[in-house]
Amino acid sequence: MIISGFKHLIPARTLLSWVDLPSSVYYYKNKGGRGGVKPSTHTLKLDGTMVENQVVIEKIKDVLSQEFCCYGYENVTSELRKEAYHINKKKVYRLMDEQHLLLGKVIRTSGKRKFVQHRKIVASYPMEYLCLDIKYVYVHADKRNYYLLTILDVFSRKTVDQTFQKSIKQVDVINAFRRINQTYGIKGVTIRNDNGSQFIANNVKQYLRAAEANQEFTHIATPEENSYIEAFHSIVQREVIDRFEFDSFYHAKHTIAAHRNWYDNRRLHRGIEMTPKEKWEQNIHLTIQKRESIAAIGKTEKISGNTDNYYTTNSTYLSN
C-alpha cells in the first residue's frame, strides 16, 4: 500500500529497496492452478511412440475394472509397464488422483441385484433369454488387449449384437441394448450377465428396468451359470484369436466381424444341429406369438382393473 501511494513520486524500484521487498514479490500475479512445470500430456511407450494420457487413463480403468481388483498406484504402474508403457509411479499417482481412482474409493450400486435361480437356461423361443460378456483380444502390433462385448440369443445361439473397441464402458453396454431394442425389442426379455463393473452400473440397470427387461446376475466365480456366452467366447478363442496374429486394431476388427458372419450364417452348431440363422428364422414366429399372448394378458388385466399383477404376470409368463 505504501509503494502504491508514492510510486507516482518516486520510482517503484527505489521504494522497493527502501522497504527491502524483492521486485519479483511485488510484481507477482497469481494465475491460478498448480505451480511448477506443467504436467505432461503424453506418455512414452517402449517402441518409441507417444500416446495421449487419456489412453493411459482408459488402460488404468481397464485394470481396475477386474472383479476384486483394488490395486494401488504402484501395482497399477507395474501393470502398465507390462503393457510396454515407459512410465513412473509418480505420474500414475497423479493420473489416478485426478480421476479419483486411488484406493479408498468404494464401488456402490443402488438397489438389489437379482441373482440367477437356475444354473442352466432353457429357452423355448428366440429373444426369450440373452446373455452377454466381455472378452480380451490381444493385438500383437499394438502390444495390448482390446475388448469384445458380445450379446447372444440363447435359443438360437445367434449374436444379436457385438462391440469391439479399446474399452467397454457402461454407455457402450447401454448403446448395445438400445440397438437391440430398436431392432427386436427387449420388453420382457431376460438378460443374464456376470458382476462386471459395466453390468452392475446403475445406469445400465435403470435403462433395462425402463425398457421392461429382466436383468439377472450370475453368482460370484460361477462362469458355468453363463455357459452359453462362455462357450461362444471359447469358439472365438479357438477359431480367431489363436489362429491370427493381428497387425492392427482394424485387422482384428475386420477378422472378428468376418467370423461373426461365418458363425451366424454358415457354421453348423452342434448344440442345435443347424446354423444360428436357420434356428432363428425357423422359430422367430414363436417370439411374435408369445409377445402377442403376453400383450393380450396385460390388456385383460388392465380392463379388469387388476393392474397390480400386470408386470408380475408378464414376468411369470415369460419364464415358464
Q: Is residue 139 assigned to a domain?
A: yes
From 118-122, 251-255, 263-267, the region with the lowest mean pLDDT: 118-122
Check whether residue 48 and residue 20 sit in a common domain.
no
Quick one: cell of 171? 454407455
pLDDT tens for 180-206 read 999 999 999 999 999 988 999 899 999
Check whether residue 68 and residue 7 sit in a common domain.
no
- Per-residue pLDDT at 279: 96
CA–CA separation, 124 and 127 (whole Å):
9
Instruction: Give backbone dihedrals phi and psi of 292, rounded to 5 degrees, phi first.
Output: -65, -40
Question: Is 175 a residue whose pLDDT tops 80?
Answer: yes
Check whether residue 146 and residue 287 sit in a common domain.
yes
Check whether residue 270 and residue 143 sit in a common domain.
yes
CA–CA separation, 151 and 177 (whole Å):
9
Q: pLDDT band at residue 230, thresholds of 50, 70 and 90?
A: very high
> In percent, how much of the chain has pLDDT > 90?
58
Number of domains in the chain: 3
Q: Which residues pair with 42 in a beta bridge?
A: 52
Kindly give the interhelix angle for 53-64 and 89-98, rounded to the nearest 10 degrees. Answer: 80
Check whether residue 211 and residue 74 sit in a common domain.
no
- Per-residue pLDDT at 181: 95
Q: Is residue 219 assigned to a domain?
A: yes
Question: Is 315 a residue whose pLDDT tops 50?
Answer: no
Strand spans (E) along 81-240: 85-86, 129-139, 144-153, 159-165, 190-193, 214-217
Check whether residue 133 and residue 249 sit in a common domain.
yes
Check whether residue 253 and residue 141 sit in a common domain.
yes
Q: Is residue 311 assigned to a domain?
A: no
Q: What DSSP assignment string belongs to 28-65?
A: -----S--SSPPPSEEEETTS-EEEHHHHHHHHHHHHT
Q: pLDDT band at residue 307, thresholds of 50, 70 and 90?
A: very low
Check whether residue 224 and residue 154 sit in a common domain.
yes
The parent domain of residue 90 ranges over 42-98
- Secondary structure (H, E, C), 254-300: HHHHHHHHHHHHCCCECCCCECHHHHHHHHHHHHHHHHHHHHHHHHH
Check whether residue 140 and residue 276 sit in a common domain.
yes
Q: pLDDT band at residue 298, thresholds of 50, 70 and 90?
A: low
Strand spans (E) along 157-278: 159-165, 190-193, 214-217
More confident residue, 31 or 81: 81
- Per-residue pLDDT at 146: 95
Other Cβ atoms closer than 10 A to 125: 19
Q: Is residue 280 assigned to a domain?
A: yes
Check whether residue 25 and residue 80 sit in a common domain.
no
Average pLDDT (154-163) is 97
pLDDT tens for 84-120 read 999 999 999 999 999 888 876 555 556 678 888 888 8
Q: Is residue 107 assigned to a domain?
A: no
Check whether residue 136 and residue 275 sit in a common domain.
yes
Alpha helices in 65-137 (DSSP H): 73-82, 89-98
Tell me, what CATH number does 202's domain have?
Answer: 3.30.420.10
- Per-residue pLDDT at 320: 34
Check whether residue 19 and residue 72 sit in a common domain.
no
Q: Is residue 35 assigned to a domain?
A: no
pLDDT tens for 118-132 read 888 889 999 999 999
Pairing label, strands 50-52, 42-45: antiparallel
Report pTM.
Answer: 0.64
- Per-residue pLDDT at 22: 83
Mean pLDDT for the chain? 86
